[in-house]
Structure 1
């Protein structure tokens, strides 16, 4: 017998509550077959696709609903954000009403674009909504650190009623909060305190992952960012041998996400200097796509939007220096020139952002 729309929505709600998003999509389609254009069913279908990491299908559902009087622009912007089509996502959000959801998405887009001042501006506008979210506070710390404003973190977190002492973080039991707080301490050259909080983050993270039945190698992979930062603290404190062992072990075992491996590779090269130049270039080659344009660097897709501008600059600098030490002077000079333009998006001749005579969007080769 035909199922009523009310019963279908009951089933849809049950699937969503259980996190069964593919099934939710099927039921949403049944609702739309019985009641074409139902706004709630359309929204449920789009969100269920997003929750299933099927952003292409979500965008297709949004396009299919374009003739309906339903505003799905936020979801469209979010899909573009997930696909790293950041400028397209930002263009959609421009002109939207500044709701809490819109401002949070906008801030995340600015963060990935490296526009930290704009990112913080969005977070400041969020204050009026009084969003009490630990994730939001973690993101604010990350944005301030990435924007070179680590000295402002304590004041910002005090306003958010967040205590960043190691004792308080131990009670909070937030892996991300402890990790980001440690990054702040590193920027402020408080290395011993940073190590304490990184050790705490690693312990909390390991305990949480063990509860979720992660295997040892999976735990090692998930906590790679913490391991790299701990090695970096050792490097800064002059414990270079210990740091080198951590970096080399992670790179050889590939026991980390792409961005952690990229940071470990760059830091290892910075310690080794001119020793084994060929090996250093081979390691860096794993992080770079083959570009159709000569002398240009194009990071592999998994790194392009994961590394900060400072991290990219360090990686490019390491490659240029190794090329020069390998007596590849011409290639090193050209790659260095391109990298300087890429990082700053400025004219590599006069280093101003408004030079109409020599700045080119395609890079210095043009």
Structure 2
């Protein structure tokens, strides 16, 4: 069946619903009494967002094959619960008789019954589980757990007498302190004499001997107190607190706490440009070009001339004769006057 269902799985994830339906119908015709094609058909319906059809397919198979319907009923319960069809999910789980006593099944059924506002049905599920575990001869007996959960459930739903009976059975059978406290709390609502009787078995809490309960009952409620109530602590606790020593702070190497020196700069974590003491460097204006617009500096002119001479292909062999020095402006003026 694994190789037969492979094409259905491929079309299932590629969302080719029509092709998946054709393959599933072929599998149903070939394997009529097998569960696998029925589960595939229900899965295709769920992927198509046709949950009622999936529920109908699974419930029809469960009615025709009650002996081989555990997996189908579980799938039906899962699909119905996800679709908020709590009644269908609860009914399908109730039909599986082999798992009615298991903690997961009981918890799921109780939660579904609570969603349906059926507290009586949830209580009956817990009672049937308790009855099964009372008659069970197993090493891992979960009777005490079910009795605690049932007592808590019934106490929360206003069934004080039933909860009181369960807590009393727990105290007599297991001697649990939690059950004893629950018994005192529940019997205080129904039978005050029984509550006072079992209250004496509770161990006193340390540090609450100086509290007057009657005066607390007369007060209207809690009030704001500036100073907390002092509770006498035992001497051992006081000695342990006194033994605690304060550790000396560890200083860095070479640091003298008596002469700490100047305080560190509070702006030491900031970048230099963001500090208040930062002064930008002045630009050197001497290298700027002076003269008319478009003039070139002498250094650049010399450099360009040198480059031009180096790139020339034929160097000159004969050097030119040096030109005679020109006279100054003053000598020219004297000649013009003469």
> Does the alignment reach a TM-score above 0.5?
no
Q: Which has the higher contact order (CA 8 A, sep 6+)?
A: 1
TM-score, normalised with respect to structure 2: 0.30
TM-score, normalised with respect to structure 1: 0.28
